[in-house]
Structure 1
Amino acid sequence: MKSPLKVTFLGTGTSQGIPIIGSDHPVCLSTNPKDKRLRVSVLLEWDDTHIVIDCGPDFRQQMLREKCKKIDGILLTHEHSDHTAGLDDIRPFYFRQGNIPFYASQRVFNSLHDRFGYIFQIENKYPGAPTIEEHVIDKETPFNLFGKKVIPVEAFHNKLSVLGFNIDDFVYLTDVKSMETTEIEKIKGCAVLVVNALREAPHPSHFNLDEALAFIEKVNPGKAYLTHISHLLGFHDEVSKKLPKRVHLAYDGLQLVIQ
């Protein structure tokens, strides 16, 4: 019997977060906690395992909010800063646990080597720098992650290949603009689908709301949750009223349990 999968939305915002610094947009000025969105990420838990998908600039704040004391691994969708800029903040986990396993494509690791060279330095490494354990993954090869099968799924963020993940019929996709039919087949009929919906107007590298809803219809999940949301999509409560019955706006701190 498989262990239930607990999902906590650490952040559901776009690359600038909501509120945007200095913005007077009504959504940025909202006092509703569901309109305040950190950069996009989720925490997955089963048994005594804690896995984070993406490690953005709000990682420290997210870990403190959830009182997370242990991380068993971090999956990365792609190399953009809103998904990786919190890499240095793994240090408290590293000091307690040792090397932290990371799972990403070779291209993403190449980018991290360029941007965080001090972490990957071998000779004369600064003693306070963390060390990560690199696990290269690709869309072709499912892998075992502490007793659960992970099926990587490729999508495209404009022309950039990004990875999503199907774990126990929970599918997490972000920064998606298109997906090949063969990859959609990996996730059809899943129990829960999380996918990005940036705003109502079209965008060159993200689903807008209409595109996200059309994609959800194609995948036909039991339930769907929208994430990577900008202030331009509107107020959480107002947008939620307009969505189809099985589609929901995710918000920071939302928790799901998938049996």
Structure 2
Amino acid sequence: MKITFLGTGTSTGVPEIGCQCEVCTSKDPRDWRLRTSVLVETGGKTILLDCGPDFRWQMITNKTYHLDAVLISHEHYDHVGGLDDLRPFCRVRGVDIYAEDYVAEAIETRIPYAFRIHKYPGVPNLELHRIGMEPFEAAGLSVIPIRVMHGRLPILGYRIGNMAYLTDLKYLPEEEYAKLEGLDMLIITALRKEDQPHPTHETLGEALVNIARIAPKESYLIHMGHRIGLHAVVEKELPPHVHLAYDGLKVGL
């Protein structure tokens, strides 16, 4: 399995518009973060986890020419804003999109032209699959949904093989931890430092507590804002098996 971190930033991205802090003005490319999205390649299949507004550029810079499925965590714009840009992948067949009911309804409301019976030529051909909490198959691969609480909003994380993706996490219901046993890789939110708590996202300190409990072999932090600090500094402060992911990072399992 190959994991590519297409974007590792929070909803505003980094640099944040108008900010002159040391992170937003950093010359280190690891401090420049597009909106969070991850590409999973395994068994000859390519699956996209979340499709935000930076999707087009992420596909171009990563030289991605094929997608088999897209898994959506929730309806917020930074996770669905790129769905219209799936059009080039729809020329041969439709792209399969997996999302739970309320997210599917939100997608249909935001881009209704993609789901009409009589479609305007050139609109994306999206095959929307509604999922629940039961395991399902996407592109022939087994996927286990993980209930994640984004503050009070229930959203989905996903486990594919021994990799799990938990974005926009504030806390996990107790019964979900059993689904995360035996992971080789955990990808998990760490919005900013623990002295700056947030009502709907984990801080770095909260993420480290969850990582210690889940006990994966390796963990990669995502969905970070500029308040996380400089990559070069924070990476040195982390335990050896925990890493600050950055855009373009590729990791093999």
Give the Å deviation of 1:247: 0.7
Match of 2:157 among 154, 157, 164: 164
Distance 1:192 1:128 in 2: 38
2:128 equivalent in structure 1: 134
Give the Å deviation of 1:52: 0.4
Give the Å deviation of 1:171: 0.6
Unaligned runs of 5+ in 2: none
Deviations 1:12-66 (A, max 9, x none): 0000111112211110100101001000000111243111000000000000011
Q: Match of 1:153, SS?
A: strand
Give the Å deviation of 1:152: 0.7
Q: Which amino acid aligns with 1:215?
A: N
Task: Give aligned pairs, total.
Answer: 251
Q: Match of 2:180, SS?
A: coil
The answer to whether the aligner puts 1:219 opposite 2:232 as a matched pair is: no
Give the Å deviation of 1:8: 0.3
Distance 1:121 1:144 in 2: 26
Q: Which amino acid aligns with 2:121?
A: P
Match of 2:47 among 46, 51, 73: 51
Query: What are the equivalent positions in structure 2 for 1:93-172 lying under 5 Å apart?
Result: 93-95=89-91, 97-123=92-118, 125-139=119-133, 141-172=134-165
2:190 equivalent in structure 1: 197
Deviations 1:82-104 (A, max 9, x none): 00000110011112x22110011
The answer to whether the aligner puts 1:82 opposite 2:75 as a matched pair is: no
Q: Which amino acid aligns with 1:146?
A: A
Q: Match of 1:186, SS?
A: helix
Give the Å deviation of 1:105: 0.3
Distance 2:125 2:140 in 1: 24
Q: Match of 2:233, SS?
A: helix
The answer to whether the aligner puts 1:65 opposite 2:61 as a matched pair is: yes
Q: Match of 2:40, SS?
A: strand
Q: Match of 2:179, SS?
A: coil
Distance 1:250 1:154 in 2: 23
Distance 2:101 2:126 in 1: 14
Give the alignment's TM-score, normalised by structure 2: 0.97
Moved over 3 A (4+): none
Query: What are the equivalent positions in structure 2 for 1:212-251 lying under 5 Å apart?
Result: 212-251=207-246
RMSD: 1.0
Report if aligned partners of 2:69, 2:139 keep a CA contact under 8 Å in 1: no
2:251 equivalent in structure 1: 256
Give the Å deviation of 1:160: 0.8
Give the alignment's TM-score, normalised by structure 1: 0.95
1:26 equivalent in structure 2: 22
